[in-house]
Structure 1
């Protein structure tokens, strides 16, 4: 056991370290030292490194990719949301020496951060899920967000593979920034909207015949072409354990990675069916009242709000559908429209009760009213504690509750409160 310290520890700390059998190394910069260690370890392992980023769905895509690859390879992956400049080196350092596939989720909130992570993770493959409006507060425009995401494609080596969401309107832009063809990086397309991506013969994965069951789980036909296991167009039926039609796109991206690594279409579809949600991301829980609670409290953006509300709308129940929606941060100039769009989506989902939590969520309420949701179905509260009081003692056995907001709103407390 080894600890890095930015200053000489006191005697008590040194004694605790001695008793634990730990060493302490004093360094000038702890973050730089961790990065250097990760870079050195990356040079020592032979794993193929798969990097995943995107404004929405990157953690789910990472989890689906891990589910697929681990069915055939010794696979290590980012745990939870350890996707920043400290979490990413931890992920690399956590890889076992015999790891065959290392999946590194890469988050960012400014230009240069993904490039920095790539400098020590050195990915062989990279997937960009989409370019949204999160981080507009810092980066100003979607083009700048795309530039930050495209740093992943720019870091891929000759012979590497870039997985591109054909349905994203910034797809061509990030490919151009990555100079993929010029540098000999292969482009592999995926599309979860029902469209067939790219020209005939090009490597691609897509979904068709998309539907959802009574509990919001997608069913579709998974199609692929151009891979070793399916050079001609092939298809298999696929059903996701995850809820929400938006997860079809995430599944197609993960499937493309699996096929590029030599897996068969059938084994990919089988692995996708067994996938479970990450904590705080549409995680299904049951309240003491019997109500179903979708814990989607870990994070939120306008696109993911709309997607989760669509999932709630598709869920069949004889009880009420309740949405507890809180503020979304880092949206900058897109904040007002983003919150109003979430409100319109809540109205379109025809929720029986909308609880808006926080100062910014007043615009969610406004968007819902403008879209026709009756005033008596809307409640605005200042914080998580007030949201719990709003719902406490009111939930019936057949009710379904969606809880979603940016992480700093701590709506996981709402989930805990209504579970009791």
Structure 2
């Protein structure tokens, strides 16, 4: 899209422009490029950008100016910046959009790019848990059927700046598979921007970030924004077993989406009919048609995620979608999200470590406990859960932790090791109902005592919010075990 064509569709009062009107705008970048790339515009975050909890503080004006000058020195084609910088000597003769609200302008530019798309396919995935793994599984399936031209956000970089950047690059790819956070959707809501994906997926609704979203129903309402303003034929894919699935379904229907549900519910469009915890053999019912395949990773939650992948491949009308489903047999768990390792502790005991320590919310804790429970166990192979605090739950945190008692007891594990302030509330609920639960006030004390509690062949799940530090200790354990003695 040429700059002059873009200007024609932008609100005239929202910006001023100086520079080459015939320049082809080929996407946006977050940081100064490492090499000259014609057509890319830098959009630094300034005071007009909403501050979200997961982000670092906004850069100072001095830092912003340094970033712009560095980008210009590295050959960036253009800049989107505050009107306060109009007249700056280093911007003289450069291609610049000036605006009092660069966030709103950036959203409008990306919306114009989105409107210009023809054959490109956009999938947007959100949810309280499972979105990063579902995204990775869908990417794996798409690549297996020869769809190599894909834009995606790396890892779980799912805040608004990264989402806007990846959407701005959509014209250059046949597929865009994007993970979108709730905070990004909240920021977009305030600016009137909609992602408008061809396929929108909501994997789960759980008590996550309640400090900022107040209630579980509000979490569902915010995440349902992913279905807003779909293109013709746009599809909503919804976990039918999620809390407030009715809210999600109602929103999708009201926006005019084609609806596909998935899960264990008898009424789901794509239903998990069976899943073997040992072989990972899976049977999904698509309507009345059984689809049999094998998964390369453990966990019932992974099997449920695979149903969303099937739904997405079919929604994009890919003729060889079955080949993509078969390819899930070679999908490997992501670090911190179910990766399994055989490690030897300093005590000499070799254990199977299930690394779920990247992050946690109630939905993912319940799923992880259920998956651990399904694993074969005997007197010489104990199932052990190490659970740390779930953070950012606000004043309801202790009660939300207490409510996990049923998931822990139903799992019927050999040992449950808890640590952290909020997990003390769960410990109090479990005391007297099982002899296999223990609690430490913090990670440091757990690290001192836990190795001596574990023994040869134990299967050990480790899960907590990332900020507890558990993921760092898991990394240390794996590194120490793999290092030559």
Could you tell me which of 411, 425, 431 is aligned with 1:363?
425
Match of 1:331 in 2: 393
**Cα distance change on mapping 1:173 and 1:44 into 2, 3 Å:** closer
Match of 2:440 in 1: 380
Could you tell me which of 227, 232, 240 is aligned with 1:166?
240
**Cα distance change on mapping 1:366 and 1:186 into 2, 3 Å:** same
Q: How does 1:39-58 map to 2 (within 5 A)?
A: 39=111, 41-42=113-114, 46=118, 47-58=120-131
* 2:340 aligned with 1:284: yes
Bigger shift: 35-44 or 252-261? 35-44
Match of 1:79 in 2: 154
SS in structure 2 opposite 1:132? coil
Bigger shift: 334-343 or 278-287? 334-343
Q: Using structure 1 for the length normalisation, give the TM-score.
A: 0.82
Could you tell me which of 201, 222, 226 is aligned with 1:148?
222
Query: What CA RMSD, in Å, does the superposition of the two structures yield over aligned residues?
Result: 3.2
Q: Contact 1:85 / 1:113 at 8 angstroms: preserved in 2? A: yes
**Cα distance change on mapping 1:324 and 1:117 into 2, 3 Å:** farther
Match of 2:175 in 1: 101
**Cα distance change on mapping 1:246 and 1:114 into 2, 3 Å:** farther
Match of 2:358 in 1: 298
Deviation, structure 1 residue 304: 1.2
Match of 1:256 in 2: 311
Match of 2:137 in 1: 64
Q: Contact 2:424 / 2:439 at 8 angstroms: preserved in 1? A: no
Match of 1:230 in 2: none
User: Matched residues in 1 for 2:359 and 2:138: separation?
Assistant: 20
* 2:323 aligned with 1:267: yes
Match of 2:81 in 1: 27
User: Matched residues in 2 for 1:12 and 1:247: separation?
Assistant: 44
SS in structure 1 opposite 2:182? coil
SS in structure 1 opposite 2:276? strand
Deviation, structure 1 residue 26: 7.3
Unaligned runs of 5+ in 1: 199-203, 226-232
Larger Rg computed on CA atoms: 2
Deviation, structure 1 residue 364: 2.5
Q: Contact 1:344 / 1:371 at 8 angstroms: preserved in 2? A: no
Q: Contact 1:236 / 1:269 at 8 angstroms: preserved in 2? A: no
User: Matched residues in 1 for 2:370 and 2:296: separation?
Assistant: 17
**Cα distance change on mapping 1:18 and 1:334 into 2, 3 Å:** closer
Match of 1:189 in 2: 261
Bigger shift: 249-258 or 151-160? 151-160
Q: Contact 1:236 / 1:265 at 8 angstroms: preserved in 2? A: no
Could you tell me which of 458, 464, 468 is aligned with 1:409?
468
Bigger shift: 115-124 or 125-134? 115-124
Deviation, structure 1 residue 45: 5.4
